[in-house]
Amino acid sequence: MRVILIGPPGSGKGTQGDLVGNKYGYPKISTGDILRLEVQEGTPLGKKAKAAMDQGDLVSDDIVVEIVKKRILQPDCSKGYVLDGFPRNVSQAQGLEEMEGNRAEIVMNISLTEKALISRLSARRVCFRCGAVYNLLARHPKKDGLCDVCQSKLIQRQDDRPGVIKERLKVYHRQTEPLIGYYKEKKVYHRIDGEGKIEAIFDEISSILDREIILQEEVDAAR
């Protein structure tokens, strides 16, 4: 089973991906995490990615597809895996289909209004030293502006500023609408309301996934 979580930045799909991974024993593959690691390490791939992210742009399909491909061929992905942040557009989805066309898949789109997303994202602060993430709305540091873990200064990432967020969302929607159409046509698409509590959203995702897993087992048994 391949679980694809789509949703704009700030939709909470990373959290939902962790929950799905833990419950079903699927590794969660977050392209955002992998890319950020490349950026921190300053690899050639990371440098290219950083230049794009600083502009509020998305990283090129070629770079992202290469990274994901390496990851899903690992043995821990044989039973299933969760993709968080990939594919972002139809071209990447086709790349995925070429890599692994036979695997059963389910796509869940966690949706929120632009207003809710901007308020969530612009409240995010990150420790420049250890990378701990805070949110002035939900997870406030104990001392204003300082990391609980290492007492270093908290910063607002370039791509969490409102102007950049709006640009990111515009790019996101432009690329994601055709992707949604692509998965609707494949009849694997589900829309999830992302405004509620984490637990309620996860219950909805779980019940859809449970149903799909049972269906898939019946298909496999009939073969």
> What residue ranges bind Zn ion (CB under 5 A)?
127, 129-130, 132, 147, 149-150, 152
Smallest gap from Cβ 168 to Zn ion, in A, equals 25
Annotated active-site residue 157? The verdict is: yes
Identify the active-site residue in 71, 88, 120, 125.
88
Please name which of 208, 194, 4 lies closest in space to residue 107, comparing C-alpha atoms: 4
Identify the active-site residue in 157, 161, 166, 184.
157
What type of residue sits at position 36? R
Identify the active-site residue in 2, 71, 125, 168.
168
Pick 94 or 152: Cβ nearer Zn ion: 152
Identify the active-site residue in 13, 28, 50, 120.
13
Annotated active-site residue 69? The verdict is: no
Pick 148 or 167: Cβ nearer Zn ion: 148
Annotated active-site residue 120? The verdict is: no
Annotated active-site residue 139? The verdict is: no
Smallest gap from Cβ 136 to Zn ion, in A, equals 16
> Are the C-beta atoms of 82 and 28 separated by less than 8 Å?
yes
Smallest gap from Cβ 82 to Zn ion, in A, equals 27
Q: Specify which residues 134 forms β-bridges with.
A: 125
Question: Is the Cα torsion angle 120, 123, 128, 131 positive or negative in sign?
Answer: negative
Pick 79 or 140: Cβ nearer Zn ion: 140
Annotated active-site residue 13? The verdict is: yes
Q: Encoding tokens for residue 14?
A: 């990373």
Calculate ∠ Cα 178-183-186, nearest 5°: 130
Pick 68 or 127: Cβ nearer Zn ion: 127
Question: Is the Cα torsion angle 207, 208, 211, 216 positive or negative in sign?
Answer: negative
Cα separation, 185 vs 56, whole angstroms? 30
Cα separation, 68 vs 43, whole angstroms? 16
Catalytic residues, which ones?
13, 88, 124, 157, 168
